[in-house]
Amino acid sequence: MGVRNACGMASTPADRIEQALVRIEKAAAARAYACERITQRHAKLRARIEDAVSSLDALIAREATPGEED
C-alpha cells in the first residue's frame, strides 16, 4: 500500500479507494456467508417441519378412521 499520514490513513486518493475496496470485499464475503448459513438453516427447518406435519397427518388420519378403535 501507499504512504500513510500521521493518523494512519492512506495519504493518496488511490490508497483510500484501495482500502475501501478491501472493506467492501470483506463485507460482501461476510454477507454471502451469512446468506448461505440462513439458506442451510432454512432447509433443515423446512425438513423438520415437513416431518412433523406428516406425523400429524398420519395421527389425524388414524384418529379419523371410524371403527378402528383399540
The whole-angstrom separation of Cα 40 and Cα 38 is 5
Nearest residue to 53 via CA among 61, 64, 43: 61
What is the DSSP secondary structure assignment for residue 12, as one 8-state letter? S
Residue 59 — pLDDT band, cuts 50, 70, 90?
A: very high
Q: What is the pLDDT of residue 18?
A: 95
pLDDT tens-digit series, residues 8-46 = 666 899 999 999 999 999 999 999 999 999 999 999 999
What integer pLDDT is reported at residue 14 of this predicted model?
93
| Residues contacting residue 47 through CB under 8 Å, at least 6 positions apart | none
Confidence of residue 5 (pLDDT cuts 50, 70, 90): low
**Whole-prediction pTM:** 0.55
